[in-house]
Amino acid sequence: MGRTKKVGAAGKYGPRYGLKDRRLVAKIEAEKAGRKVCPSCGAKKRKRTSTGIWECFKCGSKFAGQAYRPPSM
């Protein structure tokens, strides 16, 4: 759908909801989508599997954290 370099994933909302809300959504979705470093094995293979659940694909360990952000350890 509507993605550009400037707005990223929030481009799907078009001109709706206001600039501040769309920037906040773009920031949250960018944090949610990327791969993070696993605190157990140190590999950059940790990803969100569901709401508040994060899993490392290398060592298989699971962590509970915030809904859209990985647990800060």
Instruction: Report the chain (73 residues): mean pLDDT per 10 consecutive residues.
Output: 71 88 87 79 85 88 82 64
**Residue range(s) defining the domain that contains residue 52:** 35-68
Number of structural domains in the chain:
2
What pTM, to 2 d.p., does this model score? 0.58
* Residue 18: count of CB within 10 angstroms of its CB: 10
Per the CB < 8 A criterion, the answer to whether 10 and 26 are in contact is yes
Q: State whether 40 and 60 are in the same domain.
A: yes
5 token code pair: 């370099």
Question: Own/partner pairs for 40-47, CB < 8 Å, 24+ apart?
Answer: 46/70
pLDDT score, position 20: 92
pLDDT score, position 17: 92
Per the CB < 8 A criterion, the answer to whether 10 and 22 are in contact is yes
Q: State whether 45 and 20 are in the same domain.
A: no
Does residue 4 lie within any of the structural domains?
yes
The radius of gyration of the chain's CA atoms, rounded to the nearest angstrom, is: 14
Does residue 73 lie within any of the structural domains?
no
